[in-house]
Amino acid sequence: MAQGTVIHVAPKQPTYAVCVLGTNTHLEVHSSAPQGCTSFGISASPGVVVDVAHGPPVKKTPTGSSKWPLDPGLEVSLRMTAVSCSKGDQKVQISYYGPKTSPVQALLYITGVEISLSADITRTGKEKPTKARKDQRTWTWGPQGQGAILLVNCDKDNRKSSTMDCADDKVLDREELQDMSLVTLNTKTPRDFFTKHQLVLHVAKSEMDKVRVFQAHRKKQSSEYKVILGPQQPSHLLKVPGGQHSTEFYMEGLAFPDASFPGLISLTVSLLDTSKPELPKALVFQDSVAFRVAPWIMTPNTQPAKEVYVCSISENEDFVASLSALAKKAKCKLTICPLEENMEDQWMQDEIEIGYIQAPHKTLPVVFDSPRNRGLKEFPIKHLLGPDFGYVTRGPQTGDISSLDSFGNLEVSPPVTVGKKKYPLGRILIGDSSFPSTKSEEMHQALQDFLTAQQVQAPVRLCSDWLAVGHVDEFLSFVPVHKKGFRLLLASPRACYKLFQEQLKEGHGEALLFKGVKKTKQQNIKDILSNKKLREQNSYVESCIDWNREVLKRELGLTERDIVDIPQLFKLHSQPSGTLKAEAFFPNMVNMLVLGKYLGIPKPFGPIINGRCCLEEKVRSLLEPLGLHCTFIDDFYTYHLRHGEVHCGTNVRREPFSFKWWHMVP
């Protein structure tokens, strides 16, 4: 609720005060009482409502007015019901009584004014903000919550600009205003009111570098927008005429929530009394609106795909052609980053993650740029950042970067419920070390802080440093299905050995893995099953995946029925650090591209039995009954041998959730 001041009256001399409509103003009557007085009465003009917080009056005087005892705990408050036409045109009279004294009067002359900030605190998305409400100074979550929302203006509406819109202090056209939040200051006062009063608009100094406020100046055929608050500008003296007036402000966010910024910003207007030049300005009234900066939100595989991204590199023409055919089936746009712009860096998944930000009036995709900064470094800035496509990055831009900082190590689950706790936007999944050591790696703290600070997709840490590349997308994926909404796919050496054992029993022990693949040693099922070292290595890998399996079941509220085991073998290789890390033994089928019901799965080149790859047939038998369509894509030479697969080499922009993030309770 907006806050007014306290009014002290003085007997035998008039007091003048300002009361703002919509506020309760405390009237102090006890400390002003003349000596010997034990009770008081009070009367007021029709435009003033007086409330006395006490029991019923002691008695009534013959004229009908009420008397109350002068009790220190008694509270008197005033409310205005109309704006004054002139200064002091509303009157309150306090009469003090005592058993041995004559009645003494104190007169209060009140000027009633309207001063209020209004914004879209009910989150309707309407252009004109909601009228001020008593609790707009607080921001609350949930479907019944309220509070205004602010977007970080991180797109680039003018393609010729060299930077994001939030990095400059200009509004080039009305289109850019759609990325901002409208706030209106409504004032209604006597004509001469602002000759002795001032209005100041301000934000906290700790918040001034997180927001920028433009004031609209209307002209006959156009409008101008001048920066009045922002970095190094925490307050601004407003020039407001007397009478009835409305002033529009447009707010843009400059920073996402992070470790040192919870995302909350309060915009406040203060009314100051300047009637006594020899004294400092006195604070009379304040009104505030609370805003929360919209979080960056990831989209899981279960969200419909809108656009697929892939790189064109040397000798991956067939891969791109297969991907193009898959995107066409899924009715997705395909964007190809040419060789001269990716500089032979094909790992599109590692460079970026495409999410979105949302306010009731606007939703726009935002690319999160990883700090890996290899050949694709310029792609998100040159090709994605633009009108209604935002950009954000975190982490050091040079040095001190590990493989775990690439975004193949950043995934998100579909919506889940864990016990009584709902995660309607899913939970972020990141890979971490099993325990810290001098040789262990983990995602950079700046990235972790950013992801945690968004609040709406509480991160889950998985163990991934047993992998050579160390990314969670090497052992898990999610696919959409009708009943539960999704299935979790996990790479499983156990399932692969079981499949090969079955094939051996059926007399297919001589069937070859990698048949037809050039420059690759072919191995038959019998030799793979008898390779004790390989089996021991996969037993270790299985234990690592099982650990994550239990974490995922616990943190995502899953059961075994929600999990599909995808047959996969791994092998351990010595790393420069001297430790052994796991790599896929054959193309890693769980590292797939999910476009609705269409799946682009790495072609495993498994043993051919009865004219068909037994690994492909097994995966089809697991996924196609769920309504999914499996397409196996050859990525062997250009991706698999370079320690990645289909998912690593692609990226997807997906539809935002229909669920509004502000309706959840983190």
DSSP 8-state secondary structure symbol assigned to residue 152: B
Please write the tens of the pLDDT for every residue from 54-91. 655 654 444 446 788 888 888 899 999 999 999 999 99
| Whether pLDDT at 24 is above 70 | yes
| Whether pLDDT at 149 is above 80 | yes
Q: Measure the CA–CA gap between 434 and 440, rounded to whole angstroms.
A: 8
Burial pattern 505-516, b for ≥16 Cβ within 10 A else e, equals eeebbebbbbee
Alpha helices in 352-444 (DSSP H): 379
**pLDDT greater at residue 434 or residue 467:** 467
Judged on CB neighbours under 10 Å (0-12, 13-18, 19+), 478 is buried
Chain-centroid distance, C-alpha 571: 39
Q: Measure the CA–CA gap between 650 and 41, rounded to whole angstroms.
A: 79
- pLDDT number for residue 130: 57
Please write the tens of the pLDDT for every residue from 42-58. 999 999 999 988 655 65
Q: Taking the alpha carbons of 633, 636, 637, 641 in that order, is the dihedral positive or negative?
A: positive
pTM (two decimals): 0.93
Q: Measure the CA–CA gap between 75 and 639, rounded to whole angstroms.
A: 77
| Whether pLDDT at 412 is above 90 | yes
Read off the tokens for 529. 């099953």
Crossing angle of helices 532-556 and 493-505, in 10° steps, is 130
pLDDT category of residue 592 using cuts at 50, 70 and 90 = very high
How does DSSP assign 176-207, residue by residue?
HHTTSEEEEEEEEE-TTGGGSEEEEEE--TTT
**In contact, 580 and 574? CB cutoff 8 Å:** yes
* CB-based contacts of 251, cutoff 8 Å, min separation 6: 150, 180, 181, 182, 183, 211, 212, 213, 214, 267, 291
- pLDDT number for residue 63: 44
Q: Measure the CA–CA gap between 124 and 522, rounded to whole angstroms.
A: 63
- pLDDT number for residue 64: 46
Read off the tokens for 613. 């790859």
pLDDT category of residue 2 using cuts at 50, 70 and 90 = low
**In contact, 374 and 399? CB cutoff 8 Å:** no
Read off the tokens for 162. 């060299």
Q: Measure the CA–CA gap between 121 and 138, rounded to whole angstroms.
A: 10
- pLDDT number for residue 61: 46
* CB-based contacts of 376, cutoff 8 Å, min separation 6: 311, 337, 342, 343, 345, 347, 348, 351, 352
Q: Taking the alpha carbons of 602, 608, 611, 612 in that order, is the dihedral positive or negative?
A: negative
Closest by CA to 301, choosing from 590, 78, 584, is: 590
Mean pLDDT across 250-279: 97
- pLDDT number for residue 57: 60
| Whether pLDDT at 482 is above 60 | yes
**pLDDT cut 70: percent of the chain above it:** 96
* CB-based contacts of 328, cutoff 8 Å, min separation 6: 334
**What are the catalytic residues?**
350, 471, 473, 648
Question: At 497, phi and psi to the nearest 5?
Answer: -65, -35
Mean pLDDT across 515-540: 96
H helix or E strand, kind and range, residue 56: none
Mean pLDDT across 289-308: 98
| Whether pLDDT at 174 is above 90 | no
- pLDDT number for residue 56: 59
First to last CA, the chain: 25
- pLDDT number for residue 352: 98
Read off the tokens for 629. 């369509």
Angle at 343 between CA 470 and CA 389, to 5 degrees: 80
**In contact, 269 and 201? CB cutoff 8 Å:** yes
**pLDDT greater at residue 62 or residue 209:** 209
Please write the tens of the pLDDT for every residue from 548-584. 999 999 999 999 999 999 999 999 999 888 899 999 9
Please write the tens of the pLDDT for every residue from 358-405. 999 999 999 999 999 999 999 999 999 999 999 999 987 666 789 999
- pLDDT number for residue 121: 95
Q: Measure the CA–CA gap between 299 and 368, rounded to whole angstroms.
A: 12
Q: Taking the alpha carbons of 530, 534, 540, 545 in that order, is the dihedral positive or negative?
A: negative
Sheet strand arrangement including 48-53: 6-8, 25-28, 75-80, 48-53
Please write the tens of the pLDDT for every residue from 324-334. 999 999 999 99
Look at 9-13, 229-233, 501-505 and tell me which has the smallest mean pLDDT. Answer: 9-13
Mean pLDDT across 535-541: 98
Mean pLDDT across 612-627: 98
**In contact, 449 and 588? CB cutoff 8 Å:** no
3-state SS of 66-91 is EEEECCCCCEEEEEECCCCCCCCCEE
Q: Measure the CA–CA gap between 148 and 181, rounded to whole angstroms.
A: 8
Angle at 198 between CA 119 and CA 82, to 5 degrees: 65
- pLDDT number for residue 175: 83
pLDDT category of residue 450 using cuts at 50, 70 and 90 = very high
Q: Measure the CA–CA gap between 238 and 458, rounded to whole angstroms.
A: 41
**pLDDT, averaged across the chain:** 93
For 520, the 3-state DSSP assignment is: coil
- pLDDT number for residue 551: 98
Closest by CA to 184, choosing from 100, 99, 127, is: 127
**In contact, 477 and 590? CB cutoff 8 Å:** yes
How does DSSP assign 542-579, residue by residue?
HHHHHHHHHHHHHHHT--GGGEEEEE--EEEEE-TTS-
- pLDDT number for residue 65: 60
**Residue that the structure tokens 């901002």 belong to:** 180
Read off the tokens for 198. 């001032």
| Whether pLDDT at 535 is above 50 | yes
- pLDDT number for residue 585: 98
